[in-house]
Each structure stands twice: as structure tokens, then as C-alpha cells.
Structure 1
């Protein structure tokens, strides 16, 4: 499968993923998030402020060449991706929190992503380049995430028996389709990836692991519940690599394939590290806490 076809099929694959997630959600899940906004603020603080600072420290310590340094900062500035909801779903996190955070992050990225990337381009590359995140891209993210989820939730409400029967098959199909699409996209640009892999694989892996760890530990240290912390770890640890790749390679934005390489490597690696991390945190001791006043959700 060529990279062009893979990228074209990526929205379809994510749509299937979001539909499956919607089959597991109810309106009450979102009401619980609204009643306990503290964890949302914790996640946003980590995503928007802490991670770019940590990434800057890693980039400086590894002394990356300018294009790759900008690419790492572009990745750090990217919001959480819709794939976070899938992993949260698989490892019993608070999926409603992921959906809410993805929506909020997509709007905030209109301002934070161009600011961080423009400063990085000026600081590392010394170039007079200015990028902006188009409003149409934000609309696409909302449509890709919210519409299939809304359809799944509607099916669950109107046809509960059908939704229950389809839940597991849709989950399995979504994982397989997404894996095939990602592998096809990477194989299509494998020469470019291999040319820079040795320079960035360690820092990309470290950044991924640090993001996952911060996303889980920060809420836990501030007394958030386990399921909220799992959702936070995937929201913060699984950046929207597709958005970062698009910005890096788009002729109307950065137009630099090298700047997109950290996101390409990250977007391939994160599926495996996130799965291992999910297995690790799911082995929590019995009786792990839930947020004060929150009702523990059932396992799916």
C-alpha cells in the first residue's frame, strides 16, 4: 500500500475507531467529566506547557540539527490525537475525558501550535517562516472525532442490543485497519525514515515515554482517579502525529520532509510503547481510587 493511499484511508480508519468508541459511551460519561473539571486542567497544563519545555530540554541535550529540532518541537506542540481514545478504551481509561480533551486541545492548538513552531523555526533554523493552523483543519478534527462517536452513542441509545453485539467486532476491526494504514504509510516513505532514524530514534522514544509517564503521574500525584489518569496518559502521550506530519510536509506550511521525520517515527513507535504502557498501568492494585464524587464506570 503506497503512502498516498494510506494517508487517504487514514480518516476512514479513524472513523471506524471513533464509531467503536461511541458504542461504549453514554451522555452520563460526559456529565461526570463536566462535574470534575480539575483533571481537565491538569491535562491541559501538561500538554500545553510542560511537554514543550521537556522536549526543548531533550532537543538541547541531544544537540539535534536544526530541522530535526524544529520537527521535535512541532511534535511536542501538536495536540493529543484521536488514537488516544482508542487506547484509553482498550485499557479502561475514562474515554469521555479523552474525547473532551481532544476537542479542547484542537481549538487551543490554533494558537499554541503556530506560536511554538514559529519560535522554534526562528530559534533553531534562523528562518523567517510563519505558519498558521487553518480553521478548516480544526473543523476536520472535530468532524473526524465527534461525528462517528455521536453515531455510535445514538446506536447504543436507540438499538442497545445491536450496539452490544457490534461492540467487540468493531473494536477488533478498528485496530486491524488502523495498523494496516499506518504500516502502509511508513513503508511508502521508508527511505526518508531510514536516513534519519539513527539520529532521532532515541530522543523520540524518550519523549514518547516521558509523555506517557507525565500524563499518568501528574494527575495521580494531584489525587485524580486511576481511570482519569489512564485517559490523561494516552491523551498526553499519543500526540497527533498525522497533523504534525501534514504541517511539516505541506507545501503551504513548513514544506520540509526532514522536519516531519520525528513525527513519522513517533507515529509508528507510539502504538507499541502505548500498548506496553497500557498493560503496565492496568496492573494496578485492587481498590485503586476514583475521583471524589465520581461513579466508577464499568469495564468494557
Structure 2
């Protein structure tokens, strides 16, 4: 099985450009505010690093799927937030700075957490341990896509604020159109895979996607985190870096098991649809209620 071009090449390249546009609406003071109030980041880390892997383990244990599929799902649950989380946060009028910050922290921590979850999953489903490591090069790629373009956009905003303001609306429209195209391309590219595994992996990926969205949004809300920050946490927690897991599973220098790449490939399609519907519901609900609106990032 080969990963979709939309996920492996087209999505990171285009998101790099869009992240530049998102940075145009951010200020360094936004990140200072996030660091000064670390509670939302800590809640996000708890949900993504501890709570989600536990819930995913329960799901796969009840599914009776092959061990490789179960390990692939666990790798997905342990993976860092995807770079597209900030884009969806922007569309849902959430705290983009918080989304980017959480993606950066989880990407860094994944150097340790992802191999640990991988080894524990191999032990649980295969009955034997194995050595797995996440290469520094892959983590640097995540930072290059998510952080560097946004920092360039912040710099442009600081030097040319009027120009950055004029670009804000066109970039948001471009982001919306691009996400529609990406979802369609991903659906076409993974259609044969989804048709083959639709009743098993597809159902499991859908259940985990819905669980991730619900945990990412409602756990922070129950802990009295404001709506805009809860939106950012939900996007970052529910949109995992599926392409990273696919690379980890298929690389001959790491797991070298293409079957483990099936769950993240299916999830990479389903999660975009689920989160897209969630964003639409959030925006529709906010427009109807006209209250509890997020603060501008």
C-alpha cells in the first residue's frame, strides 16, 4: 500500500504556504500569552499523550482486528498533532497560537512518547517487545511545516501590518477551498483501501476520530477553558499526523510493516471529514447563539 500523494506530498507543501498566511494574523504577544497561561497546554497534553492512547487501547482490544492493525491504531493515537490542526482552528475561529504551540510541544515529546507506545503496543498485541525509534529528521520536518512558515508570517505582520491585514480574508477563503480539494483527493486516493477495510478499520477509525474530537473539546470545557482555546485543543488532539505514522510503519529502517499503515491512512481521510463537520457545527452554533465567542488570536 502506498500513501496518498495528497497526504505525503501535496498536503505538507500546501499547508506550508497556508501556515505562512495564518502567521500573518498572529503576534508574538499571542505566544507570550500562551506561555504565561500554560493550563490549556497542560490539559491538551494530558488528553493527547495519556487519555487518548488509553481510550484507543480499549477500542482496539474490543475490535478483534489483526495485531498489525491494532498497533497501527495505537501509533496513530500516540502521534503528535497534525499541521492542518491550526488551519481548522483558524476556520473555527479558535486560538491559532495555542494550536500551533500544542503541535510544537507534542511533536517534540513524540521523540520519547511515540517509541514507548509503539513498544508497549508490540508487547501487548504480539507478545514480544521490539525496538522502535523516531528519527530526528522527521520531527524537524514537522517543525519546518508547522512552525517556520508561521514565524515568517508573524515577522511580516510585525513589519508590514497593513499588508498582513489585507491578506487575512483571502487566505481564509483559500484555506477553505483547499481543504475541500484535499478531502476529495484523499477520498479518491484511498477509495480502494476504504472499500476493502471499510467495515473494520473504517469503523474503528471513525469511532476513534469521534472520540478524539469529543475528548479534545469537552474535557477542556469541563475544566472551564474558554471556547476559543477548547476549539484549538480539539483540533490539535483530533487531527493526528497520519503521514508521520505511515512513514514510521512502512520504513524499512523502523517498523517495516505496511499493514500497520492502513489505520492511519484510513484515519487521514475520515478525520478531515469528521473535523470539517465539527467546525461547521461550531460556526453555525456560534452564529446562532452570538455568545461565548473566542477572543481574537
Residue number in structure 2 paired with 1:16: 17
Unaligned runs of 5+ in 1: 291-295
Where does 1:179-218 land on structure 2 (aligned, <5 Å)? 179-180=180-181, 183-184=184-185, 187-188=188-189, 190-218=191-219
Unaligned runs of 5+ in 2: none
How much has 1:127 moved relative to structure 2? 4.8
Residue number in structure 2 paired with 1:81: 82
Residue number in structure 1 paired with 2:292: 288
Contact preservation (8 Å) 2:183, 2:273: no
TM-score by length of 2: 0.91
How much has 1:193 moved relative to structure 2? 4.0
Contact preservation (8 Å) 1:249, 1:257: yes
Residue number in structure 1 paired with 2:162: 161
Contact preservation (8 Å) 2:193, 2:266: no
How much has 1:212 moved relative to structure 2? 0.6
How much has 1:122 moved relative to structure 2? 2.1
Residue number in structure 2 paired with 1:117: 118
Residue number in structure 2 paired with 1:293: none
Rounded Cα–Cα distance in structure 1 between residues aligned with 2:230 and 2:238? 12
How much has 1:23 moved relative to structure 2? 1.2
Rounded Cα–Cα distance in structure 1 between residues aligned with 2:170 and 2:282? 25
- CA, structure 1 residues 247+183, in 2 after alignment: closer, same or farther (shift >3 Å)? farther
Residue number in structure 1 paired with 2:273: 272
- CA, structure 1 residues 177+227, in 2 after alignment: closer, same or farther (shift >3 Å)? closer
CA RMSD of aligned residues (A): 2.1
TM-score by length of 1: 0.90
How much has 1:186 moved relative to structure 2? 5.6
Rounded Cα–Cα distance in structure 2 between residues aligned with 1:279 and 1:185? 20
Residue number in structure 2 paired with 1:297: 296
Q: Which moved more, 1:82-91 or 1:144-153?
A: 144-153
Residue number in structure 2 paired with 1:172: 173
Rounded Cα–Cα distance in structure 2 between residues aligned with 1:248 and 1:179? 27
Aligned residues: 292
How much has 1:192 moved relative to structure 2? 3.8
Contact preservation (8 Å) 1:193, 1:264: no
**DSSP-derived class of the 2:82 partner:** coil
